[in-house]
Structure 1
Amino acid sequence: MQGLFIEYIFLILIILGLVMLANKLRLAYPIVLVLGGLALSFTDEFSSITIDPDLVFFIFLPPLLFEASWQTSWKEFWKWRRVITSFAFPIVILTSCVIALVSHALIPGFTLALGFLLGGIISPPDAISATTIMRQVSVPKSLVSIAEGESLLNDASSLIVFRFALASVITGQFHFQEAATSFGLVVFMGIGVGLLVGVIFYAIIRWLPTTPSIEIVLTLVTPYCMYYGAEHLHYSGVLAVVSGGLLLSNKRQSMLTYQSRIQGVNVWTNIVFVMNGLVFLLIGLQLPPVVQQLGTVSIRSAIGYGLAISLVLMITRLLCTYGAGLFTRFASRFITVADPNPDWRGPLILGWAGMRGVVSLAAALSIPLLIGAGQPFPHRNLILFITFIVILVTLVFQGLTLPLLIRKVKFRGMPNAIPEQQQELLIQKAITQTSLAFLGKNELTNEHIANLHERLNIDLRLLNQELNETSNTRTNAIMAYQRTYLDLLQQQRSTLIEMNHGIEFDEELIRKYLSLIDLEEFKVREKLVQ
């Protein structure tokens, strides 16, 4: 046990080094981590570390989904709900059908049920790689919102398809009406369980005498309760976490204190970073055991099957994204849609952003070794190998070429009603006006309140000037002010550090004011003009 723990510590250190290398090379870190894991797989140092499906589904998946839900804008999710839903359910099911037909025709002895099983495994894209790349090359926010929204739901739909296909292979029977009814029940009851658990935890955090530490720990426990509760009742744990996460994210301002919100972001960011790093590195480390379990199928044939399935998968997703675009144009004649005339570039980018990830590999690994009266599960090892090839090809090939594609097509997306920089100024102006109105109604007055009132009036006058003047001279003046203010904060730090050398000042107080300067720098850098 101690040796395994030390190995994971070394893996985390390797992850940090590889992520720094990815940043240096301007590559999405999941790609570098998978390739790094592949390189490590040829050594014997980490041979004892393997992916356990339970480790992924019951330890890694709930918090990763919850954090993604927490960061998702409900406004953007609802705006693009029709596109997201079509990507998450019809496209996943259609992809599974195509993969079933192709694999049945291509691989000797591969039944349609096994094809659907393979389709359910490899149909869900992994959003982390795609959104990481999209943010690096600054694509329109609409594409990032759709990719993030799709990732919240497609894992659920693909795992449901996987569950029904697995039952069909084991029992040898498939009843469409029963499966359709069960599908609806699994989806809607999973959402219901997530919302119920979310309401319970909201009430606990909102009305019981908690502290920031207790509240943050409760947010860490919440996704596991949602996931386990739904899975225990044989409903969708993924949809439970997503629905509950979206609910609590929307209620965060009334549920959490300001301390919990600030501290919680830091805790969750670092936990999710380590989990994602481990997941992608472990994918690369799985090469030797996957190849060893291939059995009687030749490695050459297995690679050929994997490459062919990967090609079919990429083409199918591209056709589906263009199909979704055409359907949106048709539907815009009858209903209001977010984008009634989608550009050809958007579907191309989303179609090419279909990299597969750890959920696919964990699903393949969860296939039982035996069925029925002790018979080996048919083609289990080949399914596992094809899944690995699909992940490797899509993640590395599509991941490396996606930035180039985005730059080449120069997709601008729908223009915002108000430019982003102007939105920021209007938000700051609204906050300042609200503050002045509040102070105007406040009967209490003293020198400090009068000083605050004067500062706010000055801020409002400057904001009005910035809104009325969009010249480069004005922008340069703001940038000079921000740089000067950041230098001033650094001088304040130096003064406090120098004061801390004296015995007359309490170090705890010095640290408090250093933390306040850090918060002030964070505020300035968030508003920094690029």
Structure 2
Amino acid sequence: MELLTLMGVLAVALGLTALARRYALPAPLLIVVVALAASFVPGVPAVELDPELILTLVLPPLLYSTALDSSFAQFRAASRAIVALGVVLVVVTALVVGLVVHLLLPELPMASALVLGAVVAPPDAVTAVAIGRRLGLPRRLMAVLTGESLVNDAAALTLYKIALAAVLGAAGSIGHGFLIFLVAAVLGIGVGLLAGVLVGYIRRKLDDPLMESVFGIIVPFAVYVIAEHLHPFSPDFSGSGVLAVVAAGLYLGNQSLHAGPATRMQDSSIWASLDVLLETLVFALMGLQLPLVLQNMDAAAPDNNTLLVEALVVLAVTIAVRIPYVFLTSALPQAVRLFGRERAAPSWRYLTVLSWTGMRGVVTLAAATGVPLGTPGRDEIQLFAFVVAVGTLLLQGTTLPVLIRRLGVTNDAEAARDEKEEKHAREAAMHAAMRRLDELMPEILSKVDISEERADRLLVRLRGLVESRYQGAIAAISLSAEEREASPHAAFVRARRELLLAQREAVLACREAGELDDEVLRKVLRELDLEELALSNTLTSRVG
């Protein structure tokens, strides 16, 4: 792909993302639809996915960012469901789809059919999570969806390698394949945790927010490449780069809770920007694959209509496998139930939404594009993979919001619990500040030569600052969005922003008059910017 073409695709995709965010539209769907339409426009260059680019430069940072933002406690609590959906369901889907493809195309070797099954097995939760976050899905369901997306790519790509080895005549027994899977998981997780511990130690010693963020940026690429190129026994065995990235991200994300505020703020901004950049690009590339897919379809069979019908059958099977699996595993005996014995079985509404979140993504297309030349059924694999990826995205992605609203799957109970927990946290923080203030005052008085009266006034001001922040936060917790906007605290924030704006304009006027050097200007502006950022507690990310 030419660099100029890539920049053009990225620019248009980012424009569509901005439009979608402004009008609360699902950005992935908008980008894919526009890209599909643009692929028919004469003069639009054909864009072919580079599987190495996607799997090495795009997938690791996206997985790492998701892992950083994931709660390790929630991941552990939902681990049974995550494994059931992210590993077992991937294997089941690959086998069922492979069998159906072999029945539809008897001339296609079973190993090639299993390659296709592995290619279409892993759902991509970007769209589902974006929709769920916007519509307020329960946190438990969001944790399952996010966790599934972190591990299912590893399971699918390992199956993909095993199936390709079978096609090329290099595969062993079923036990050999299971051993490959086990080694990939153990090595991948080991590499990720080791890298996480090492990078965490280095970042703590640096005490430099900029360098800490730089080290964080290289982590996903480094651990992915190291794990994938680690062959302890033979070329057949290697670590899972995906699991290495996930393990490192979960560990460092948990450690970041104890990092400095500057590092946390900087990391949040960096990864939020990278998420939007990479996700807009991959969804645009998905839609632009259509001309190449049509060429492959012409090369695959003289009867395109029959091949297209078969592709739609594979799409239907891929969607259908997930639905009964989710309900059946939830209804199993307690010992093997999807959500564990310690939790009540989720409602059918919850399970219905979970069963309809199987949208496929760019990993499916990248894996299909990476099938070696000369592989039996390569053209059919790429066609079916495209139909499944785009079909699930358009069909399930457009209907999922309606399904969530109709079934009323929301987090109302969680909102009440969050309100209670936030009040408790703020009260604990306020009391801790007061206790620490009482401890500090004697130390301050011993080092500063001020009168007792002035010291009392200083103490009153500091106590008043802590109490006013606490009272303002508590008052805002239980208010609706409309009430919060009309509250005295909101009026104070608006007034404070106006004052900061006036200060910023005055400083810029001094610079225009030649009274300030640019270095001084940037220092003052940074202080004003940080003060304004402190007035806001929201940060949006992702393309949704």
TM-score (norm 2): 0.88
Greater shift after overlay, 82-91 or 425-434? Answer: 425-434
Give the distance between the partners of 2:323 and 2:468, measured in 1 at CA. 53
Give the distance between the partners of 2:277 and 2:75, measured in 1 at CA. 26
Residue in structure 1 matching 2:501, options 476, 489, 493: 493
1:20 maps to amino acid: A
Alignment CA distance shift 1:472-1:80 (3 Å): closer
Corresponding residue number in structure 1 for 2:109:
111
Corresponding residue number in structure 2 for 1:362:
366
1:524 maps to 2:535: yes
Q: CA deviation at 1:516?
A: 3.9
Q: Which runs of 5+ in 2 are unaligned?
A: 231-237, 446-454, 540-544
Give the distance between the partners of 1:379 and 1:19, measured in 2 at CA. 36
1:270 maps to 2:273: yes
Write the deviation string for residues 257-311 of structure 1: whole angstroms up to 9, x where unpaired: 3322212221221122111111110011111112212314132122111110111
Equivalent residues, number: 515
Give the distance between the partners of 1:509 and 1:58, measured in 2 at CA. 42
1:220 maps to 2:217: yes
Greater shift after overlay, 427-436 or 165-174? Answer: 165-174
Q: Which runs of 5+ in 1 are unaligned?
A: 370-375
Q: CA deviation at 1:225?
A: 1.1
Give the distance between the partners of 2:245 and 2:328, measured in 1 at CA. 29
2:461 maps to amino acid: N
1:242 maps to 2:246: yes
Greater shift after overlay, 382-391 or 176-185? Answer: 176-185
Give the distance between the partners of 1:5 and 1:55, measured in 2 at CA. 13
1:305 maps to 2:303: no
Corresponding residue number in structure 2 for 1:20:
18
Alignment CA distance shift 1:116-1:483 (3 Å): farther
Q: Does the 8 Å contact 1:63/1:224 carry over to 2?
A: yes
Corresponding residue number in structure 2 for 1:383:
381
Give the distance between the partners of 1:226 and 1:95, measured in 2 at CA. 28
- Partner-residue secondary structure (3-state), 2:45: coil
User: What is the identity percentage for the equivalent residue pairs of Structure 1 and Structure 2?
Assistant: 30
Alignment CA distance shift 1:31-1:329 (3 Å): farther
Q: Does the 8 Å contact 1:51/1:362 carry over to 2?
A: yes
1:290 maps to 2:290: no
Residue in structure 2 matching 1:151, options 132, 141, 149: 149
Q: CA deviation at 1:210?
A: 6.0
- Partner-residue secondary structure (3-state), 1:397: helix
Give the distance between the partners of 1:334 and 1:38, measured in 2 at CA. 39
Alignment CA distance shift 1:455-1:154 (3 Å): same
Q: Does the 8 Å contact 1:101/1:112 carry over to 2?
A: yes
Q: Does the 8 Å contact 1:466/1:474 carry over to 2?
A: no
Write the deviation string for residues 109-134 of structure 1: whole angstroms up to 9, x where unpaired: 12322222111100100111111111
Q: Does the 8 Å contact 2:84/2:338 carry over to 1?
A: no
Alignment CA distance shift 1:199-1:334 (3 Å): closer
Corresponding residue number in structure 1 for 2:346:
342
Give the distance between the partners of 1:200 and 1:110, measured in 2 at CA. 47
- Partner-residue secondary structure (3-state), 1:89: helix
Give the distance between the partners of 1:439 and 1:123, measured in 2 at CA. 57
Give the distance between the partners of 2:496 and 2:208, measured in 1 at CA. 34
Greater shift after overlay, 291-300 or 280-289? Answer: 291-300
1:361 maps to amino acid: L
1:316 maps to 2:321: yes
Give the distance between the partners of 1:46 and 1:163, measured in 2 at CA. 34
Give the distance between the partners of 1:330 and 1:491, measured in 2 at CA. 61
Corresponding residue number in structure 1 for 2:487:
479
Q: Does the 8 Å contact 2:193/2:248 carry over to 1?
A: yes
Greater shift after overlay, 518-527 or 155-164? Answer: 518-527
Give the distance between the partners of 1:483 and 1:465, measured in 2 at CA. 13
CA RMSD of aligned residues (A): 2.8
Greater shift after overlay, 268-277 or 151-160? Answer: 268-277
Give the distance between the partners of 1:382 and 1:361, measured in 2 at CA. 13
Alignment CA distance shift 1:438-1:391 (3 Å): same
1:74 maps to amino acid: F
Give the distance between the partners of 1:390 and 1:293, measured in 2 at CA. 15
Please list, as runs of the form range in 1=range in 2, the aligned pairs for 1:53-452 lying within 5 A after superposition.
53-171=51-169, 173-207=171-205, 209=206, 211-233=208-230, 234-254=238-258, 256-294=259-297, 295-297=299-301, 298-327=303-332, 331=336, 336-337=341-342, 339-369=343-373, 376-412=374-410, 415-416=413-414, 419-442=417-440, 443=442, 444-445=444-445, 446=455, 448-452=458-462
Write the deviation string for residues 398-436 of structure 1: whole angstroms up to 9, x where unpaired: 100100010011124693495323332222221111111
Alignment CA distance shift 1:293-1:242 (3 Å): same
TM-score (norm 1): 0.90
Write the deviation string for residues 71-97 of structure 1: whole angstroms up to 9, x where unpaired: 111111111111111111111111111
- Partner-residue secondary structure (3-state), 2:68: helix
Q: Does the 8 Å contact 2:334/2:341 carry over to 1?
A: no
Alignment CA distance shift 1:23-1:322 (3 Å): same
2:289 maps to amino acid: Q
- Partner-residue secondary structure (3-state), 2:332: helix
Q: CA deviation at 1:239?
A: 0.4
Give the distance between the partners of 1:12 and 1:140, measured in 2 at CA. 33
2:226 maps to amino acid: G
Give the distance between the partners of 2:127 and 2:81, measured in 1 at CA. 20
